[in-house]
């Protein structure tokens, strides 16, 4: 099987952060969100809009955490990094429709463009408390302000430095 990447930003689905690939992290986030918010569950698939969105958001949050280190990180900045990832993915899929160019990407069951997404795109309201990828990372590893994610990542040095940028 050939290596697979997100349509936007070409981030490898199998990039390891700790002992999990970004795809496994995305599944953890999605499963957590689905079970806690009574969302109709449909497993994530490689090449879907939702999977790419989660992976890019997670990538940005992990990159931010690695780049800033303790004690310089804060929840609002991490939420902003996730929002930037969501914006990049949304506009890429909206404008380029990668599923029309490659069978590696799946056409979403609902249209990408929506008034809600456009309003969110132009909003400065980051609402870090509602940021699903960030909150799942914090639930798994503990608060950013404590040892949490950064300590674990630094101890195990499992982050691939080649991709550690936003």
Q: For residue range 13-43, list pLDDT tens digits in order.
A: 999 887 789 999 888 888 877 777 777 778 8
Domain ranges in the chain are 16-36+45-163
| Bond prior to 111 in cis (omega within 30° of 0) | no
Dist CA 72 CA 21 (whole Å) = 26
The rounded mean pLDDT for the chain is: 75
Beta strands in 71-142 (DSSP E): none
Dist CA 26 CA 55 (whole Å) = 6
Could you give the angle at the alpha carbon of 99 between the alpha carbons of 110 and 58, nearest 5°?
75
Grade residue 134 by pLDDT with cuts at 50, 70 and 90. Answer: low
Least confident of 20-24, 53-57, 86-90, 146-150: 146-150
- In contact, 75 and 154? CB cutoff 8 Å: no
Least confident of 3-12, 128-137, 152-161: 152-161
Least confident of 10-19, 46-55, 96-105: 10-19
pTM to 2 decimal places: 0.77
């Amino acid at each position: 099987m050939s290596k697979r990447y997100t349509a936007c930003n070409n981030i490898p689905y199998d990039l390891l952060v700790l002992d999990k690939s970004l795809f496994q992290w995305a599944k953890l986030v999605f499963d957590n969100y689905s079970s806690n918010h009574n969302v109709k569950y449909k497993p994530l698939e490689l090449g879907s809009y939702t999977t790419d969105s989660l992976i890019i958001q997670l990538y940005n949050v992990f990159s931010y955490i690695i780049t800033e280190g303790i004690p310089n990180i804060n929840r609002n900045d991490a939420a902003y990094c996730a929002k930037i990832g969501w914006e990049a993915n949304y506009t890429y899929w909206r404008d380029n429709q990668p599923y029309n160019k490659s069978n590696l990407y799946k056409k979403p069951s609902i249209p990408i463009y929506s008034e809600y997404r456009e309003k969110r795109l132009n909003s400065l309201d980051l609402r870090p408390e509602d940021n699903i990828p960030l909150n799942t990372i914090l639930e798994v590893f503990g608060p950013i302000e404590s040892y949490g994610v950064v300590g674990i990542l630094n101890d195990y040095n499992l982050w691939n430095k080649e991709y550690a940028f936003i």
